Structure 1
Amino acid sequence: MAFSLFLAAGALAALTLYYVIQWLIVCRRRHLMKKQHGCLPAKKLAQKDPFLGTDIVMQNLTAAKNYGFLDLLRTRHANNGLTFTTNTYFRTTINTCDPTLIQNVLSFQFQDFGMGPLRRKSASPLLGQGIFTTDDEIWSHQRALIRPSFVRAQVTEFSIFGHHVDQLISLIARRNYKVDLQQLFFRMVLDSNSEYMFGESVGLMSENASEAAHTFHHALDYAQQGTILRLRLGNLMFTHRDKKFRESCDTVHAYADKFVAQALEYRRSQDALPDEKKEREEGGGRQKYVFLNELAKDTSNPILLRDQIVNMLLAARDTTAGLLAFVFFMLARRPDVWDKLRADVLEHYCEPLTYEALMDMKYLRFVVNETLRLFPPIATNSRMANKDTVLPVGGGPDGKSPLFVAKHHVVTYSTFVMHRRAEFFGDDVEEFRPERWENLRPGWEFLPFNGGPRICPGQKFALTESSYTIARLLHAFSGIENLDPSDWREQLTLSLTLNNGVQCRLVPAA
Structure 2
Amino acid sequence: MVPLNVYVNAASVAVGAYVLYFTLKFLLVHRRRSLVKQKHGCLPAPKLYQKDPFLGTDLVLQNRNAGREHRFLDLLKARHDKGGLTYTTDTYFRRTINTCDPDLIRNVLAFQFNDFGMGPLRQRSAAPLLGQGIFTTDHETWSQQRALIRPSFYRARVTNLSIYKKHVDRLIAIIREENCKTDLQPLFVRLTLDTNSEYLFGESVGLLSDQPLKHVTNFYRALNYAGEATIQRLRLGNLMWFHHDREFKRCCAIVHEFAQQFVDKALDFRRRETLVSPDEKDVASGERQKYLFIDELAKATDNPTRLRDHIVNMLLAADTTPGLLSFAFYMLSRNEVLWEKLRNHVLEHYCEPLTYEALMNMTYLRHFIQECLRLFPPIATNSRVAHKDTVLPVGGGPDGKSPLFIAKHNVVTYSTYVMHRRKDLFGEDADEFRPERWEKLLPGWEYLPFNGGPRMCPGQKLAMTETSYTIARILTTFSSIESLDNSEWQEKITLSLKLKNGIQCHLIS
TM-score (norm 1): 0.97
| Residue number among 101, 116, 121 corresponding to 2:119 in the alignment | 116
Alpha-carbon distance in structure 2 between the residues aligned to 1:281 and 1:133: 35
What SS does structure 1 have at the residue aligned with 2:140?
A: helix
Q: CA deviation at 1:287?
A: 4.3
Report deviation, 1:11. 2.0
Report SS of the residue matched to 1:41.
coil
Measure, in 2, the Cα distance between the counterparts of 1:407 and 1:290.
40
CA contact (8 A) 1:182 1:321 kept: yes
**Counterpart position of 1:19:** 22
- How far has the Cα of 1:275 moved from its partner? 2.1
Q: Is the 8 A contact 1:490 1:498 kept in 2?
A: yes
Partner of 1:391: 392
Paired position in structure 2 for 1:233: 236
Q: What's the counterpart of residue 51 of structure 1?
A: 54
Q: Determine if the alignment matches structure 1 residue 328 to structure 2 residue 337.
A: no
Superposition deviation, residue 293 in structure 1:
1.7
1:271: which partner in 2? 274
Q: In structure 2, what is the Cα distance between the partners aligned to 1:410 and 1:132?
A: 17
| Residue 336 of structure 1, CA deviation | 1.4
Displacement of 1:282 in angstroms is 2.8
Q: CA deviation at 1:201?
A: 1.5
Helix, strand or coil at the partner of 1:48: coil
SS at match of 2:348: helix
Residue 347 of structure 2 aligns with which residue? Answer: 346
Corresponding residue for residue 281 of structure 1? 284
Alpha-carbon shift at residue 403 of structure 1 (Å): 0.8
Cα deviation digits, residues 241-298 of structure 1 (max 9, x gap): 11111111111111111111112211221331122222233334x5455321222122
- Range 248-257 or range 371-380, more displaced: 248-257
Query: Counterpart in 2 of 1:185?
Result: 188
Structure 1 residue identity aligned to 2:383? S
Task: Provide the residue aligned with 1:210 in structure 2.
Answer: 213
Q: Which moved more, 1:5-14 or 1:143-152?
A: 5-14
Percent identical among aligned pairs is 64
SS of the counterpart of 1:373? helix
Instruction: Report the Cα distance in structure 1 between the residues aligned to 2:77 and 2:282, rounded to whole angstroms.
Output: 58
Task: Work out which of the residue numbers 95, 98, 103 in structure 1 matches 2:106.
Answer: 103
Offset, 1:195: 1.6
Structure-2 residue corresponding to 1:305: 307
**8 Å contact from structure 1 (residues 149, 294) kept in 2:** no
**Residue identity opposite 1:304 in structure 2:** R
What is the one-letter code of the residue matched to 2:489? W
- Structure 1 residue 107 displacement after superposition: 0.5
Q: CA RMSD in A?
A: 1.2
Give the SS at the match of 1:297: helix
User: In the alignment, is the contact (CA less than 8 A) between 1:196 and 1:289 conserved in 2?
Assistant: no
d(CA) in 2 for partners of 1:172, 1:221: 22
Corresponding residue number in structure 2 for 1:476:
477
The equivalent residue for 1:410 is 411
How many residue pairs align between the two structures?
A: 506
Amino acid in the other structure paired with 1:414? S
Q: Which moved more, 1:268-277 or 1:337-346?
A: 268-277
* Whole-angstrom distance in 2 between the partners of 1:127 and 1:491: 20
Q: Does 1:87 align with 2:86?
A: no
Over residues 404-430 of structure 1, what are the superposed CA-to-partner deviations in whole Å (9 max), with x where a residue is unaligned? 111111110000000001111111111
Q: Which of the numbers 295, 298, 304 marks the counterpart of 2:297?
A: 295
Could you tell me which of 56, 62, 69 is aligned with 2:72?
69
Aligned AA (1:410) = V
The DSSP-based 3-state class of the residue aligned with 1:411 is strand
Gaps of 5+ in 2: none
Cα distance between partner residues in 2 of 1:275 and 1:70: 55
Give 1:428's aligned residue: 429
Is 1:222 the counterpart of 2:219 in the alignment? no
Alpha-carbon distance in structure 2 between the residues aligned to 1:431 and 1:487: 14
**Paired residue secondary structure (1:43):** coil
Q: Distance in 1 between matches of 2:489 and 2:334?
A: 11
CA separation in 2, counterparts of 1:331 and 1:189?
20
- Please tell me whether the aligned partners of residues 168 and 184 of structure 1 are also in contact (alpha carbons under 8 angstroms): yes
Aligned to 2:432, the other structure's residue is in SS state coil
Aligned to 1:160: 163
Give me the whole-angstrom Cα distance separating, in 1, the residues matched to 2:472 and 2:274.
42
Structure 1, gaps ≥5 residues long? none
Moved more, 289-298 or 162-171: 289-298
Query: What does the per-residue CA deviation read over 1:472-493, in whole Å, with 9 as the maximum and x for residues that have no partner?
Result: 1111111111111111101111
The Cα of 1:465 is off from its aligned counterpart by 0.8
Give the alignment of 1:235-250 within 5 angstroms. 235-250=238-253
Letter in 2 for 1:459: Q
CA distance in 1, matches of 2:301, 2:156: 23
Residue 14 of structure 2 aligns to which amino acid in structure 1? Answer: A
User: What residue identity is the alignment partner of 2:83?
Assistant: N
Amino acid at match of 1:167: R
Secondary structure of 1:45 counterpart: coil
- Distance in 1 separating the partners of 2:446 and 2:386: 22
- Is this contact kept in 2: 1:197–1:309, CA < 8 A? no
